[in-house]
Amino acid sequence: MSARGPAAADQLQGEALVDRIGSIASDRKAIDIRVLDVRGMVGYTDFFVICSGNTERQTKAIHDSILEELKGEGVLARRVEGAREARWVLMDYLDAVVHIFTPDAREFYRLEQLWGEAPARSVD
């Protein structure tokens, strides 16, 4: 099953996809947006995009915006988990896995520390 529509075959892959996700999250006032480059470390994706919303409602709004805007551009999430509870939402876009946390969940799971050896950058 392809995660991309036919018109999206040449668009929004790799770093371009990560930059677009970061931009959408930033537009929704996501905080502390970080990109981890996990190429060569895991076989299922190239990047993690990690960000937080101040509340579960904002976390859900960030998820909704990413899902809808990318869908409008022909890019579909392969899988989404945690959207109902909205404390930790995981969105799998093949080249990138998006993690949207509430601040407490982000502190608890500490993905940036778990993957501390991965090259990282912030998204403004």
Rounded-to-integer distance, Cα 41 and Cα 37, Å: 9
- Residue 1: pLDDT band (50, 70, 90) is very low
Q: Is residue 91 part of a domain?
A: yes
pTM value is 0.89
The residue with tokens 């018109």 is 7
Q: Is residue 1 part of a domain?
A: no
Q: Are 67 and 88 in contact (CB under 8 A)?
A: no
The predicted-structure confidence for 58-89, as pLDDT tens digits, reads as follows 999 999 999 999 999 999 999 999 999 999 99
What is the structure's pLDDT at 11? 62
The predicted-structure confidence for 7-48, as pLDDT tens digits, reads as follows 444 467 899 999 999 999 999 999 999 999 999 999 999 999
What is the domain extent for residue 109?
A: 6-122
What is the structure's pLDDT at 15? 92
Residue 76, SS3?
Answer: coil
Phi/psi of residue 55, nearest 5 degrees: -140, 170
Q: Is residue 51 part of a domain?
A: yes
Domain count for the chain: 1
Q: Is residue 65 part of a domain?
A: yes
Which CATH number goes with the domain that contains 74?
3.30.460.10
